[in-house]
Structure 1
Amino acid sequence: MFDCARLRETVLAAWTASPARFREDANAEEDFALGGYRDRLVVELAQNAADAALRAGVPGRLRLELRDGVLLAANVGAPLDAVGIEGLSTLRVSGKRDEAGAAGRFGVGFAAVVSVTDAPAIASRETGGVRWSRDETAALVTARPELAAELAGRGGHVPLLRLPFSDESLGGLADGVPDGFDTVVRLPLRDEAAEQAVRQMLEEAGPALPLAMPALKVIEIEVGGRSRTISAEGRHVVAESGVFLPEQVAELFADRPTEERARPYWEVRWAVRQQPGEARGGDVPRVVHAPTPSDEPLDLPALLIATFPMTTDRRHVAPGPLTDFLVRRAAEAYIRLLGELPRTPELLDLVPGMMGKGALDAAIRREIIRLLPDTPLLPAIGAADPVPGNQARAVLGSGEFLEKISGVVPGLLPAGWASRHPALTTLGVRRVELADVVDMLTGDAVEDRDPAWWRSLYETLPADDLEAIAAVAVPLADGRLVRGPRGTLILSGAVDSAALAPLGLRIVHPDAAHPLLLRLGAAEATPRTVLDDPLTHAAVAESLHSADPEPVAQAVLALVEAAGLTAGEAPWLADLALRGADGELYAAGDLLLAEGSLAGLIDPDVPFGVAAPELVTRFGPNVLAAAGVLDGFAVVNDADVLLDPADCDHDLDLEDEWLEAVLDLVHDQLPDLDVPPVAPEFTAVRDLEYVADWPAALALLSRPPLRAALRPLRVVAAGQTVEVPSYTAWWLSRHPVLDGRRPTSLRLPSGDPLLFGLYGDAPAGIDETALELIGVRSTLDALLSSHGGPDELLDLLADPAVEVDRAQVRALWIALAAVDPARVGPPEAVRAVQKGSIVVAEVAEGPGPVVVEAPDLLPLVADRPLVLAPFDLAEALSEVLDLPLVGEIVTGSVTSSGVERPVPEEVRSLLPSAPPTYVDHENLLVDGVPVPWRFFEGKVHASGVEGLARGLAWASGQWGDRLAVAALLRDPGRVPLLLAEADLDPVTSL
């Protein structure tokens, strides 16, 4: 039994002698119970159980049972002894200071019971027990008058744990120790709030307790009939510990209390789950354990237990040299922990980031991160030992791909490690992008790889980012290793690789061929793709300058035959060097087929050769024609042609002049155009300048397929479409291809009669539509609407050799009057009427031609060449021809005197709008010239019946009735007859 009475008397005597000591003990217990240890009950009970097991050298076991408002805590290990009772009843005096590995270090942990109970008790089976009572303590204190004032000042609150009592009054608590346990703590809970707090602490208890206290192997918890067991199983633990040397104690403990210096031990322990895929530390509080939980946050995915120095409230780690020392030891132990765990990508989840949740967390992280890059933690493909992060490389890709490139990329991490995990950066791992890996797969690193190895590499390459792998090396059949599949060819069964050798093509080695290369730009080597290859184009372009062009010619002709090309389909083949019948080399486009249709059309003196007979025999005329040898006319086909002198060049005769004419046409219709127009489709017949037999040539050109080259060219400019003459039609229109005459000097036999005499007749037997396309004139309207057509018509009319009659001239003037003057250049001579004859009048010589706008002015210009047309068109015609009207060159004033007379009443039957009077002159003079009539300043002036009739008809706006008015004036009796005749006029004349 313990001598509790002696201990009580000793404490009471101390309090009585110094009431301040009473107050100090009461305050201290209250601080611990309500402050630092208020929620540490379960932890402190576990700590005492762990220390008891450690002292006894047995596996620790603790049972916590909450039943009927009482918490029972039973444990195995060393029993309660006098030293223990003294430690429990004395604040901040621990009996464990010499015990290495003991969890309790400060002698205050048991104070946590005061937060939930007023009558705690503890007993061991062998040594008995002890209890404490707030009520009994208060009674003893009250009996001391010296303490009455202090007790009153505290409202009756007394330090519960300072006065122990024997457990005899409990009916022998020691006899109630559960079977299998050595000691039991009994805590009758103060109230419902205390019970709820204990219940919550029991529910929150987890593996952190046995992990923080290794001596405690199992914790059993039973609450309300529900039991569970807590242990540290399934965790990987790394522990480091040591004993401080005296000089270290002096240095590191200089700012620590004396009790702590008496325990010169340190320990650091880390624990994580072992099972792959489990949260590493998710079931333990994310705080530092020292060794019991503190309020110091630790956001690392592992549990840290270390002998950190604590502040007096036992909640926080105290800063200082000892803490700095343990931070370094904790980082080193954490590195060891990482090194002992399995080498799986889950290891990355244990790598800390830079940001901590507190000063201590940040300090530990910094130290770990400092050590990580140089620590060999990571597996490398092909390496027997782990490599440090700063020597590792991470590449995204499948395991097969990474195995393939492991010999090229040093320190390559296996599949699953090359993620975007931020830990790789912390470890110092260099992330190598796929494109960079592809760049590394060149040179000495892969020179000994055979083509089959490359094919297996293509099989594993990540194909979801084609841009990144676009430059992957490709082995060629000729032994070269080229960068990137674009421009390479993969052979198919239709192509003989040996025959292609002269072309210098980049043919993929058959053992390396893979469909991925096609996705990356390689082409299947069909006859057409081989022909389209730039190297084939280059070989053809250089063949004329080659020392031995025959192999290239044979290879290309074989491809043309295999591809089934037709003439004009590949115009670039015209540069292929082929042998002529004379043994000389020619470009294919400069050779003729001896039996071809073009051979009989062209001038024999032009610089064309004839294809060698052996070529014709071997490949046939169709293949040679497809290769550019001229069977019929060669045709140029192009698309999206920019009609600009700097870009439009197809090596056609007079192409620059045609382009200039086309641009003039386009700008006539779209004057504000500031960008070159574009021809979406361009077709032209070449070598027209060498034709000698034009009848036969035109027969070919007027039939399909060459006829398409005659159709107008559609040009797109400023969002609008304009039609212009095609090159072929334009060229033909400018040359004497129709019986030695230019098409623009001829008209269709069925053409407009108004063009008769102006143009000769085109030859019969040629399609008239084709003739019209090449410039043969068809109608006057078409001529005047064409570019330059009005000027052409005026030039013809100014040619004295051209014969036209008066009616034809009048009709032509009528048509010209409708033309926009801006489209016409002032003529130097015009066709006119002078004294009744048709003449060609020079505009700039003598009294020049004038346009007559009124019939009463004719006598004033009787000697001048007159341009005569309906008077209502005179002004428009004057502007088109840039000629004056008569009224612009004469005054037209009446210079004689007359008598004003009434207009005969009978005239109104024909001229209802005739003026009421007129001026009768015996001898009418205008500008001193005798004239029969004049309508001047709103008055009709006349001399004689004929003049009066014309003046009244003109003034009434019925000029066409002038003869009828004259007849009426001569014989008024004829009025009924004239009216009857007028009634018979057609409706359109009314």
Structure 2
Amino acid sequence: MTDPFGTEALRASVRRAWGDSPTRLIEDTNAERDLRVGAYRDRLFVELAQNAADAAKIAGEPGTVRVSVVDGELRVANTGAPLDARGVASLSSLRASAKEGMVGEFGVGFAAVLAVSSEPRVISRGGGVAFSEARTRELVAQDEVPVLRLPWAVDEDVPEGFDTEVRLPLRDGVDPAELLARVSAEAEDLLLSLPWLARIEIDGAGWERSTVDSVVEIAAPDGTVRRWLTEEAEAGLWAVPVDDGPVPLANEVLHAPTPTDERLSLPARLIASIPMEPSRRRVLPGTDLTGLARAYPALVRKLAPEHRPRMVPEPAFPLSEVDGQLREAVQRQLAVQPWLPGGEELPASGARVLTVESPELVELVGGIVPRLVSLSGPELARVLATVDADPLEVAELVELLTGLERPPAWWRSLYDTLLPLLEAHSVSADELGALPVPLADGRVLPGPRGTFLFGASADVLELIDDADVVGLRLVHPDAAHPLLERLGAKHADSADLLESPALRDAVERSVEDARSGLDVRPLADAVLRLISDSPVAGLGALALPSVDGWRRADELVLPGSPLLGIFDQEAVGEDGALSVLDNDFAEDWPVEELTTLGVLDGFVVTEDGIRDLDLVADDAWPEALRLLAGERETWHALSGSTGEWIARNALLAGRAPEEWRLPEADGLAGLYDPVPDVGVKPEVLALAGVRAELAVTDLDDAADVLHRLGDPARTIGPGLVSRVYTALVAADLDWSQLDAPERVRAVDGSVVDAEQAAVLDRPWLAAVWPVGQLIAVPSGAEQLAELLDLPLLSELISARLPEGEYLEWSELTAIRLAAELLDIPFPEGGVIVHEELTVEFDGVKRATPWWVKSAEFHGEHHAEDSPAGLARAFAWASGHWADRHLITSLLDDPDPLTLLA
């Protein structure tokens, strides 16, 4: 067999090196293992395709690669320059390459074949070479050996039509179908990255590359064609997939020219001839990549203007140091080179981008805003901001339009473009708030708010002219547009004019103007005429003539108003709060229009209640109440805060209404005196605050009832006393703000000094305390004691009891019968029964029907042997205190009819 590549000499040289340095074999073995499992572990087809591209470039003819599996071998055939002796020497070295100027000159990528084969062969025109792990192991008598250090010559034929074929007997466990699938997945990327490859065939299916202008088309076996727009760069190429527009890439890697491990976050693929580490996975540290970015804007300019912004890198953290360097360089070039569409192509730096999407608006203002990009939208503005473009907010655009002179029809065209944006919520009314508006008088004002769209009748406009209302703004009819109404402009009818700030201002200063000598009568006539069309409130400041001179309308009373008969004389007049409307002026206008303006004919209800009640004369309150009750609006107002004010401040027979009770309110007898007959109906008196029932709503009420309880001149029944105390406890007020009374009312209705009284908190204690010093309430004794600043009776009494007989409750026959009739379970324990029960307190013995030595239900219960004593003890012990009188009756007569009769 011939040996055209001198493989025997190569083997001898390697074996001498191994012999001269015993560690060299181990180093070569380890180095090859590192390449197989590390740098080149998944680059099989990449490296073989790269070698094929190098061969095609040397031959000067685009090449073809064919991949197939034959007899358990992966075979990769290619056209182009055949294998030569230098190539074989390179294949046999882990540290060198024979491909000067080729894409693989920086690596030893053939080691990638070891991932699938330990017996690779390279067959070419002019000879072939084989490597064998088994033959090397046998030759050097070692188990661990490198595969690609010892070549052997082989004599095999190259497939017809090809110049070289790599043949790789597959290792056990390598799935040929899966291997071919992986190779197929890489075909398109490799044809793009390796321009000297024109076709890749894999198991009978072919991918083909063609170029039209700057577009590389790669046709797949299924007939689909993928197109890549490309731009030559300094020592590289930029490419992006295109269909109708660009398809920006994501999760991309740098290609040099085949894929590396340098992750990129750029929208386009970069294929560059740059220095790489021997593994061809990483760029050599210190490599300057910025020059590659200079061609990026040229790639972008090849796209249609509307697609170009998609090529701006999305804001993100760099995925690698290389990515960071490239992103920064690309962004800088996009900032300084022209590529954005506008009046002319613009660099991004300093370009203005409208933040709402509206081609019509951009076209309309393109000649007004310098450096305006012809594309628009919020997402566009966000993206272009990363390359130093300046967003143009609508509010800023509006500001730029301020002072612009354009015909009213141009402004209407502008409004046409803005209204859809407002309706779509792309802009807010606030952003358009200062939008210029041309007025009928030729001025252009910033902002539609406060302007009026034409719609008022001619006579109304004539009145407005006569009144000379400063600041009343009417929109030019050629510019009238629904947008202006959305932004605060109003159609001018009478109500709108009356609500306008300009007219309101004129009304507010009308009295001052009149007193300074200005003629305000035209304004008064205009406002009253407008009110006749549309009654509008809030114009009470309008100056009207009175018998004392010009006054506010809401400070005037109609000449025939009943109020003049009930107001204090000092309240109506030149120095008073009110005056009387000039009679001649009053006759010129209907009462309804004058009262709408605020002139008084009767009491007026405001948000705060009924006004001018403080002007009522002290002796006129009965008539005032009758007048209030005669109108539905004022009648309803009496039920709120107005009624409370009247209750405290009005006078009926010399007292405030709340100090009286209704004659039929017998439940309050003694506590309050009945109101004298003042000629007012009871229902009106009740709304005015005359009391119909007991109520403690605030501290003033509480202080008042406590004062009345402590008044010895009043005779108050015990039941009402109890109800008053109950109401006080239920009021739940802040009693710290209330002074404790000096005198209190006892349970028998008598008045006692507070320092002699105590509050009953345990019912059995009442038997040993003077009733005239005892304060009681059905519940809430602790709260009442705090309110009155009195001690609880249990805090004062500690009594001694005599001996008695202890009996379980179930041993008492009468108790047992009563409990059964009332379905009351027996409480725990029993009772100590006494023939007569006396307790000793302060050295004095006092008789009592029952006693408990503990305040709890299960304390020590004592009772005299009587229905009254036993019933109370049992009711308390069982928790049925409210049934004590019924239990007493059943103990007297344990017949079921007692419950029914």
Shorter-chain-normalised TM-score: which range? 0.5 to 0.7
Residue 646 of structure 2 contacts residue 657 of structure 2 at CA under 8 Å; is this kept in 1? no
Please show how residues 637-716 of structure 1 align to structure 2 within 5 Å: 637-639=605-607, 641=608, 681-684=609-612, 701=627, 704-705=630-631, 708=634, 712=638, 714-715=640-641
Corresponding residue of 1:473 = 435
Please show how residues 172-321 of structure 1 align to structure 2 within 5 Å: 173-174=157-158, 176-178=159-161, 181-193=162-174, 195=176, 198-199=179-180, 201-222=182-203, 232-233=216-217, 234-241=227-234, 267-276=235-244, 279-281=247-249, 286-320=252-286
What secondary structure is seen at the aligned counterpart in 1 of 2:416?
A: helix
Deviates more, 1:444-453 or 1:44-53: 444-453
Corresponding residue of 2:775 = none
- Equivalent of 1:725, from 641, 646, 649? 646
Corresponding residue of 1:560 = 531
Corresponding residue of 1:392 = 352
Residue 5 of structure 2 contacts residue 84 of structure 2 at CA under 8 Å; is this kept in 1? no
Residue 353 of structure 1 contacts residue 365 of structure 1 at CA under 8 Å; is this kept in 2? no
The one-letter amino acid of 1:543's match is S
Residues 1:41 and 2:30 aligned together: no
Corresponding residue of 1:359 = 321
What secondary structure is seen at the aligned counterpart in 2 of 1:462?
A: helix
Corresponding residue of 1:623 = 593
What secondary structure is seen at the aligned counterpart in 2 of 1:51?
A: helix
Residue 397 of structure 1 contacts residue 462 of structure 1 at CA under 8 Å; is this kept in 2? no
* Pairwise CA RMSD: 5.6
Residue 523 of structure 1 contacts residue 529 of structure 1 at CA under 8 Å; is this kept in 2? yes
TM superposition shift of 1:540: 1.9
- Which residues of structure 2 form unaligned runs of 5+? 211-215, 218-226, 705-711, 725-747, 756-901
What secondary structure is seen at the aligned counterpart in 1 of 2:69?
A: strand
Alpha-carbon distance in 2 for matches of 1:12, 1:774: 123
What secondary structure is seen at the aligned counterpart in 2 of 1:71?
A: strand
TM superposition shift of 1:534: 4.0
TM superposition shift of 1:726: 6.5
Alpha-carbon distance in 1 for matches of 2:257, 2:662: 116
TM superposition shift of 1:213: 1.3
Alpha-carbon distance in 2 for matches of 1:278, 1:606: 86
- Equivalent of 1:499, from 455, 460, 463? 463
TM superposition shift of 1:549: 0.8
TM superposition shift of 1:530: 3.3
Alpha-carbon distance in 2 for matches of 1:751, 1:6: 132
TM superposition shift of 1:235: 0.9
Residues 1:334 and 2:265 aligned together: no
Q: Would the alpha carbon gap of residues 459 and 813 (structure 1) be closer, same or farther in structure 2, given more than 3 Å must change?
A: closer
Q: Would the alpha carbon gap of residues 291 and 3 (structure 1) be closer, same or farther in structure 2, given more than 3 Å must change?
A: farther
Alpha-carbon distance in 1 for matches of 2:165, 2:16: 35
Alpha-carbon distance in 2 for matches of 1:30, 1:750: 114
- Which residues of structure 1 form unaligned runs of 5+? 143-150, 242-266, 642-680, 717-721, 736-741, 792-810, 824-871, 880-990
Q: Would the alpha carbon gap of residues 767 and 68 (structure 1) be closer, same or farther in structure 2, given more than 3 Å must change?
A: same
Residues 1:71 and 2:74 aligned together: yes
The one-letter amino acid of 1:308's match is I
Alpha-carbon distance in 1 for matches of 2:481, 2:399: 20
Alpha-carbon distance in 1 for matches of 2:689, 2:285: 108
Instruction: Give % identity.
Output: 30
TM superposition shift of 1:542: 1.9
The one-letter amino acid of 2:55's match is A
Residue 305 of structure 2 contacts residue 341 of structure 2 at CA under 8 Å; is this kept in 1? yes
Q: Would the alpha carbon gap of residues 158 and 396 (structure 1) be closer, same or farther in structure 2, given more than 3 Å must change?
A: closer
Deviations 1:151-174 (A, max 9, x none): 12x33846556534252xx4xx13
Alpha-carbon distance in 2 for matches of 1:214, 1:162: 33
**Structure number with larger C-alpha Rg:** 1
Corresponding residue of 2:510 = 543
Residue 714 of structure 1 contacts residue 724 of structure 1 at CA under 8 Å; is this kept in 2? no
What secondary structure is seen at the aligned counterpart in 2 of 1:271?
A: strand
Residues 1:531 and 2:494 aligned together: no
Residue 591 of structure 1 contacts residue 610 of structure 1 at CA under 8 Å; is this kept in 2? yes
Alpha-carbon distance in 1 for matches of 2:404, 2:129: 84
Deviations 1:771-807 (A, max 9, x none): 958999999999xxxx99x99xxxxxxxxxxxxxxxx
What secondary structure is seen at the aligned counterpart in 1 of 2:327?
A: helix
The one-letter amino acid of 1:473's match is L
Alpha-carbon distance in 2 for matches of 1:427, 1:205: 34
Residue 256 of structure 2 contacts residue 272 of structure 2 at CA under 8 Å; is this kept in 1? yes
Please show how residues 163-174 of structure 1 align to structure 2 within 5 Å: 163-167=151-155, 170=156, 173-174=157-158
What secondary structure is seen at the aligned counterpart in 2 of 1:390?
A: coil
Q: Would the alpha carbon gap of residues 460 and 298 (structure 1) be closer, same or farther in structure 2, given more than 3 Å must change?
A: same
TM-score, with normalisation over the residues of structure 1? 0.57
Residue 335 of structure 2 contacts residue 347 of structure 2 at CA under 8 Å; is this kept in 1? no
Q: Between Structure 1 and Structure 2, how many residues are aligned?
A: 690
Corresponding residue of 2:743 = none
Q: Would the alpha carbon gap of residues 83 and 558 (structure 1) be closer, same or farther in structure 2, given more than 3 Å must change?
A: same
TM superposition shift of 1:427: 0.7
TM superposition shift of 1:558: 0.9
Alpha-carbon distance in 2 for matches of 1:779, 1:81: 124
Alpha-carbon distance in 2 for matches of 1:280, 1:780: 83
TM superposition shift of 1:575: 3.7
TM superposition shift of 1:354: 5.8
Alpha-carbon distance in 2 for matches of 1:129, 1:14: 21
The one-letter amino acid of 1:130's match is G
What secondary structure is seen at the aligned counterpart in 2 of 1:419?
A: helix
Alpha-carbon distance in 1 for matches of 2:493, 2:307: 48
Residues 1:424 and 2:384 aligned together: yes
The one-letter amino acid of 2:506's match is A
Q: Would the alpha carbon gap of residues 505 and 272 (structure 1) be closer, same or farther in structure 2, given more than 3 Å must change?
A: same
What secondary structure is seen at the aligned counterpart in 2 of 1:316?
A: coil
The one-letter amino acid of 2:292's match is A
Residues 1:379 and 2:346 aligned together: no
Deviations 1:449-488 (A, max 9, x none): 8652453354144353646426333524445555555544
What secondary structure is seen at the aligned counterpart in 1 of 2:379?
A: coil
What secondary structure is seen at the aligned counterpart in 2 of 1:301?
A: coil
Alpha-carbon distance in 2 for matches of 1:420, 1:552: 54
